[in-house]
Amino acid sequence: MKLKVRPEDFRVEEKLKLRLKRAGAYSIYRLEKRLWNTLDVVSHLEHRHGLRRIGRAGLKDRYALSVQFLSIPGRGPKAITEKNYSLRLAGMADKPVTRDSLLGNNFSIVLRDVAPDEASSVTKALPQVERFGFPNYYDEQRMGSARHGQGFIARRLVDGHLSGALKLYLGTPSSADDARTRRVKTLIEESWGDWRKCLALVSPEAWPVMKYLVFHPRDFGGAVRLIPRELLGLFVNAYQAWLWNEVLVAVLEDIRLPVRCVDYRLGRFAFYDGLTSEQQRYLTKLVIPAPAPDATFSSDRVARIMAEVLKREGLELNRLKLKVRVEGVFFKGYERSVLAAPQRLEWSRPEPDDLYPGRHKLALSFFLPAGSFATILVKRLSLG
């Protein structure tokens, strides 16, 4: 079974709770894109079109056909069209687009290359997901900065291992085929401190950090502070997301819920087939805070399990602080629901796949609340 064979096979559209009108302090734009990730589009709009203080609600994958909303202060251009993305003025609002603006996302997904037995398994699982929901894990795209398997940048910053964090940021390949980045990694490991050898090889976004290290080869704190603040925030979020997932797996095991597991690069997801009425009531109300010094707990079980997960990492909640101060970048203990419940879940009958002869395709559509991952729902369906 394959997902995102074509961008059109994975459509996602944001739903906002902002009220749009003809006049207001902010211009609200509808962004439609494919083969771009959100941060790259924002950077392109800033550098090529001069837009500033761009607000957004979420991040959308480059391997999808996505519609999301951006904002800028004041009145901006009516439209911008570039290869594989378009920006259209949707209206004005009194507030900018932020994460708090997002109600959720509508998804339309086509599963391809589905074997006959898989098709039967998926159609059997869909009513279970509709009735019982699924564990609200963060998926791997939230932890993209660690997908290379070399560790979390934020973990090194918590330990005060600033040079190690910089090595991961500048010289760790994001994929096995990234020969250019592997060359940077090799140079850094063999000639640590000789940044001139690496300067021409790193991505343009990393040039300010690398140039700084050329002239200040031991000022690792100064170099870390030159990493874009939003990117540093994503590194913190990635580590929090992984820890949160580990806590949720342990919670499901602690309540002795029968589960089946799916491995991913950084751990495993545990999924249930069904829930008793008591289990569903308990898990529907349960929240787990993101690991942070200011995290608060409404459940003694969750507090105990989080302490156990952090102990395995050699940490405690009050130690989740970066050893280099960057304004606005820190571990924050927001709450996240344990279960995700798809709304308006609909699916088609399996039909012949036009791209994979002899196989089937299956179309799904549903709405998920903000922060929940459609790819996790698909992983649950893959178990049948």
* pLDDT tens track for 330-366: 999 999 999 999 999 999 999 999 999 999 999 999 9
Neighbour count for residue 14 (Cβ, 10 Å): 22
CA 215 to the chain's CA centroid: 34
Q: What is residue 199's predicted lDDT score, i.e. its pLDDT? A: 55
Q: For residues 3 and 282, what is the distance between their CA atoms, to the nearest angstrom?
A: 32
Neighbour count for residue 190 (Cβ, 10 Å): 9
Strand boundaries in the chain, DSSP class E:
10-16, 26-33, 55-56, 65-73, 79-82, 85-93, 102-114, 134-135, 260-264, 267-271, 287-289, 335-337, 339-340, 343-347, 351-352, 360-369
Q: Kindly write down the DSSP assignment for every residue of 132-163, as one continuous string.
A: H-EE----GGGGGGGTTSS--HHHHHHHT-HH
Q: What is residue 362's predicted lDDT score, i.e. its pLDDT? A: 96
Q: What is residue 175's predicted lDDT score, i.e. its pLDDT? A: 42
Q: What is residue 144's predicted lDDT score, i.e. its pLDDT? A: 74
Nearest 10 degrees: Cα torsion 163, 164, 170, 171: 130
User: In the CATH scheme, what is the code of domain 19-96?
Assistant: 3.30.70.3160
User: In the CATH scheme, what is the code of domain 105-142+240-311+331-382?
Assistant: 3.30.2350.20
Query: How would you class 193 by CB atoms within 10 Å of its CB: exposed for 0-12, middle for 13-18, buried for 19 or more?
Result: exposed
- pLDDT tens figures, 49-76: 999 999 999 889 889 999 999 999 999 9
186 residue type, one letter: T
Q: What are phi and psi of 359, to 5 degrees?
A: -115, 175
Nearest to 59 by CA among 371, 379, 377: 371
All residue ranges of the chain with pLDDT < 50 are 173-177, 180, 184, 192
- 89 SS3 class: strand
